[in-house]
Structure 1
Amino acid sequence: MLLSKVSDDPITLQVNTHAISLNNARELKEELMQYLPHSNTQLVLDFEKVFLLDSSALGALISVQKELAQSGSELIIRNASKSIKEMLHNVRLNEFVTIQDD
Structure 2
Amino acid sequence: MNYELQIENGHIMVQLAGAIYTEDAEKLRGELQEYLAQGYSRFLIDMEQVDYLDSAGIATLIALHKGAGRQGGRVTLRGVNGLVKELFEITLLTEVFEMQ
TM-score, normalised by the number of residues in structure 1: 0.81
Displaced runs of 4 or more, over 6 A: none
Q: Is the 8 A contact 1:11 1:43 kept in 2?
A: yes
* Structure 1 partner of 2:87: 87
Q: 1:6 deviation in Å?
A: 4.7
> Are the structure 2 counterparts of residues 82 and 29 from structure 1 closer, same or farther at C-alpha, using a change threshold of 3 Å?
same
Unpaired runs of 5+ residues, structure 1, are none
Unpaired runs of 5+ residues, structure 2, are none
Q: What RMSD, in angstroms, separates the aligned Cα atoms of the two structures?
A: 2.0
The structure where strand makes up a greater share of residues is: 2
TM-score, normalised by the number of residues in structure 2: 0.83
Moved more, 2-11 or 79-88: 2-11
* Structure 2 partner of 1:30: 30
Percent identical pairs in the alignment equals 28
How many equivalent residue pairs?
98
* Structure 1 partner of 2:13: 12
